[in-house]
């Protein structure tokens, strides 16, 4: 684990970020599951924002940031998933505590994860309209059939909901345990 800490006592804003070395190339079939969930890394990115053991409210992190002049976002690349947030400097300690709990104790509640599939599906529909996304898909199609470049990276309802809610919840927990801990 590498940590970079920059402190400016005169700053009114604070920010933090984490890059996890696991991205869409890490989507795989967990041995006890018969369904390969393409887009599992991306769904996991979304799911970490849906509450933690210490802060269980689904929208609690976003509400806390909004109350303290901040915002957050994340993205899943091929080999990394990056989470980041900013907020007023006075709320830094609690914000960091909430953020750290994403990686220590996410709820990964089966119902919340199941409902978040709709958000991933909407994001995919939006991405399909982008010329850069379309160009990437053409480039990926030229890769070897055995390459993860050929995989469907963002996921949608068809790839994430086919095994059912309970199997998806077990797969996302296994993915998190293997790649985030």
Residues known to be catalytic: 45, 116
Nearest to 154 by CA among 34, 18, 21, 43: 43
Please, are residues 103 and 43 in contact by the beta-carbon 8 Å criterion?
no
Please, are residues 99 and 15 in contact by the beta-carbon 8 Å criterion?
no
> DSSP H helical segments within 26-81, as ranges?
40-47, 60-67
> DSSP H helical segments within 10-163, as ranges?
40-47, 60-67, 92-104, 110-127, 131-141, 157-160
Between the alpha carbon of residue 22 and those of residues 13, 72, 149, the distances in Å are 29, 19, 15
Cα(14)–Cα(6) distance, integer angstroms: 10
Q: Strand order in 81-88's β-sheet?
A: 13-20, 81-88, 71-76
């Amino acid at each position: 684990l590498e940590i970079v800490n920059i402190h400016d006592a005169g700053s009114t804003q604070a920010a933090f970020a984490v890059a996890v070395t696991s991205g869409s190339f890490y989507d795989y079939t967990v041995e006890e599951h018969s369904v390969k969930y393409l887009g599992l890394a991306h769904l996991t990115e979304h799911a970490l924002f849906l509450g933690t053991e210490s802060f269980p409210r689904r929208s609690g992190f976003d509400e806390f940031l909004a109350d303290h002049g901040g915002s957050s976002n994340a993205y899943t690349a091929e080999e990394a998933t990056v989470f980041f947030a900013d907020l007023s400097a006075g709320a830094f300690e609690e914000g960091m505590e909430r953020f750290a709990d994403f990686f220590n104790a996410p709820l990964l509640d089966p119902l919340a994860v199941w409902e978040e599939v709709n958000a991933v599906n909407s994001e995919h529909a939006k991405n399909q309209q982008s010329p850069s996304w379309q160009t990437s898909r053409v480039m990926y199609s030229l890769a070897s059939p055995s390459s993860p470049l050929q995989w469907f990276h963002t996921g949608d309802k068809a790839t994430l909901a086919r095994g059912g809610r309970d199997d998806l919840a077990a797969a996302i927990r296994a993915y998190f345990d293997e790649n985030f801990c």
